[in-house]
């Protein structure tokens, strides 16, 4: 069954290109979808060009929400946060929710 979980993080430093590629590769390998959301803009992290454009506009001290949808969401979210440990600090983590696929929305 699909699950969804999110975490709010505070960006400490600008993302490097290497870090952007790591996020992209992890998102491509994940059996689900990873979204990054900030200032009313959301991006699918498995789309490299959109991810790079999005992260280049995120300035330090900006709040960023990481949203993970799929299976094994807790592990993937932890992996993404660990990967970004030099760039972000965790503000808040939401509970894991089960998704009824008949009632999903499109971003």
Output the domain CATH number for residue 96: 3.30.1340.10
User: Is pLDDT larger for residue 86 or for residue 14?
Assistant: 14
Domain count, the chain: 1
Residue 25's pLDDT band (boundaries 50, 70, 90)? very high
Q: Is residue 87 part of a domain?
A: yes
The predicted model gives 61-85 an average pLDDT of 88
Q: Mean pLDDT, the chain, as a whole number?
A: 84
Residue of 85, 104, 49 whose CA lies nearest to 66? 85
Residue 72's pLDDT band (boundaries 50, 70, 90)? confident
Q: Is residue 107 part of a domain?
A: no
Please state which of the ranges 20-24, 48-52, 59-63 shows the lowest mean pLDDT: 59-63
Q: Is residue 60 part of a domain?
A: yes
The predicted model gives 53-79 an average pLDDT of 90
Q: Is residue 36 part of a domain?
A: yes
Q: Is residue 91 part of a domain?
A: yes
Percent of the chain surpassing pLDDT 70: 80
The predicted model gives 66-83 an average pLDDT of 88
Domain carrying residue 11: 3-101
């Amino acid at each position: 069954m699909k699950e969804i979980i999110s975490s709010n993080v505070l960006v400490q430093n600008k993302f490097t290109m290497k870090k952007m590629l790591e996020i992209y590769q992890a998102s491509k390998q994940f059996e689900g979808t990873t979204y990054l959301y900030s200032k009313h803009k959301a991006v699918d992290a498995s789309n490299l060009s959109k991810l790079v454009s999005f992260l280049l506009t995120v300035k330090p001290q900006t709040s960023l929400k990481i949203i993970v949808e799929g299976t094994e969401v807790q592990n993937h979210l932890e992996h993404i946060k660990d990967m970004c440990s030099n760039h972000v600090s965790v503000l808040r983590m939401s509970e894991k929710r089960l998704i009824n696929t008949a009632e999903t929305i499109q971003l």
